[in-house]
Structure 1
Amino acid sequence: MTTQGWCADRLGDWVKKNPTKGAKDARDKLEGDFGIKLKYSKAWSGLKVALDQIHGKYEESFQLLFNWAAQLEQTSPGSHVQIELEKIGDKNRFKRVFVALKACIDGFLAGCRPFIGVDASFLHGKYTGQLALATGVDGHNWLYHIAYSIFDSETEDNWTWFLENLHKVIGDPPGLVLCSDAYKVLEKAVGTVFPQAKNRECMRHMYNNFMKHYSGDVFTDHMYPVARSYTDYMFKWHMKKLFVYAPEAIDYLQEHHGRIWYRCGFAEDSKCDYLTNNVSGSFNAQIKHLKGLHLHELVDKIRELIIEKMYIRKKLGQQWQDGILPSVMKDLNLISNNLKVVKVKVSDEDFAEVTLLDEWNNQMRHTVDLKNQNCSCREWQITGKPCKHALAWILSNRGM
Structure 2
Amino acid sequence: MEHLIKSKYEQVGQTYRLRDIIEDVRRDYGVNISYGQAYRAKEYGLVYARGSPEGSHAIVRAYGETLKFTNPGTIFEGFLNCIRPVIVVDGTHLHEKYKGILLIATCIDGNNNIYHTAFSIVDGENDASWTWFMTHLKVLIGDVPNLVIISDRHILIAKAVVSIFPDAFHGLCIYHIWNNLVDKFNNKDINPHFYLAAKAYRMFDFQMYWPKLHQYLGVTAYLEEIGLQRWARIYQIHCKYDKMTTDIVEYLNRVLKNARELPITKLLEHICEWLQGYIEIRLLNGNKSLFGYVNPTSWLRKFGCFLLNSVSAPLFIAEETSIQLHMKLQQEPGG
- Structure 2 Cα separation of the partners of residues 30 and 133 of structure 1: 36
In structure 2, relative to structure 1, the CA distance for the partners of 1:75 and 1:155 (3 Å cut) is same
Alignment-derived partner of residue 273 in structure 1? 242
In structure 2, relative to structure 1, the CA distance for the partners of 1:60 and 1:31 (3 Å cut) is closer
Q: How big is each residue's C-alpha offset from its partner over 1:80-134, in whole Å with a ceiling of 9 and x where there is no partner?
A: xxxxxxxxxxxxxxxxxxxxxx2xx324333111111101111111121111100
- The one of 152, 156, 162 equivalent to 1:185 is 156
Unaligned runs of 5+ in 2: 292-335
Alignment-derived partner of residue 365 in structure 1? none
RMSD in angstroms over aligned alpha carbons? 2.2
- The one of 299, 319, 326 equivalent to 2:288 is 319
How much does 1:212 deviate? Answer: 1.5
Q: Is the 1:180–1:201 contact (alpha carbons within 8 Å) kept by the matching residues of 2?
A: yes
Amino acid at match of 1:274: K
Amino acid at match of 1:317: G
TM-score by length of 1: 0.67
Q: How big is each residue's C-alpha offset from its partner over 1:134-176, in whole Å with a ceiling of 9 and x where there is no partner?
A: 0111222121111101112111221111111111111221121
Alignment-derived partner of residue 261 in structure 1? 231
- The one of 49, 55, 66 equivalent to 2:50 is 55
Amino acid at match of 2:19: D
Amino acid at match of 1:12: K
Q: Is the 2:3–2:45 contact (alpha carbons within 8 Å) kept by the matching residues of 1?
A: yes
How much does 1:291 deviate? Answer: 0.6
Alignment-derived partner of residue 73 in structure 1? 68
**3-state SS of paired residue (1:30):** helix
- Structure 2 Cα separation of the partners of residues 19 and 215 of structure 1: 36
In structure 2, relative to structure 1, the CA distance for the partners of 1:65 and 1:109 (3 Å cut) is farther
Identity over aligned pairs, percent: 29
Alignment-derived partner of residue 117 in structure 1? 88
Q: Which is richer in strand?
A: 1
TM-score by length of 2: 0.79
In structure 2, relative to structure 1, the CA distance for the partners of 1:17 and 1:298 (3 Å cut) is closer
How much does 1:302 deviate? Answer: 0.5
- Structure 2 Cα separation of the partners of residues 259 and 267 of structure 1: 7
- The one of 17, 21, 44 equivalent to 1:26 is 17
In structure 2, relative to structure 1, the CA distance for the partners of 1:291 and 1:218 (3 Å cut) is closer
Q: Is the 1:111–1:139 contact (alpha carbons within 8 Å) kept by the matching residues of 2?
A: yes
- The one of 248, 256, 259 equivalent to 1:287 is 256
Amino acid at match of 1:302: I
How much does 1:219 deviate? Answer: 1.4
How much does 1:177 deviate? Answer: 1.0
- Equivalent pairs, count: 287
- Structure 1 Cα separation of the partners of residues 189 and 52 of structure 2: 56
How much does 1:268 deviate? Answer: 6.0
How much does 1:38 deviate? Answer: 3.4
Highest RCO, 1 vs 2 (Cα 8 Å, sep ≥ 6): 2
Q: Is the 2:3–2:48 contact (alpha carbons within 8 Å) kept by the matching residues of 1?
A: no
Amino acid at match of 1:220: N
- Structure 1 Cα separation of the partners of residues 189 and 24 of structure 2: 57
Task: Say whether residues 1:226 and 2:217 are aligned partners.
Answer: no
How much does 1:9 deviate? Answer: 2.2
In structure 2, relative to structure 1, the CA distance for the partners of 1:189 and 1:276 (3 Å cut) is same
Please tell me whether Structure 1 or Structure 2 has the larger radius of gyration of its CA atoms: 1
Q: Is the 1:11–1:26 contact (alpha carbons within 8 Å) kept by the matching residues of 2?
A: no
Task: Say whether residues 1:40 and 2:35 are aligned partners.
Answer: yes
Unaligned runs of 5+ in 1: 1-5, 80-101, 323-400
Alignment-derived partner of residue 351 in structure 1? none
- Structure 2 Cα separation of the partners of residues 250 and 280 of structure 1: 28
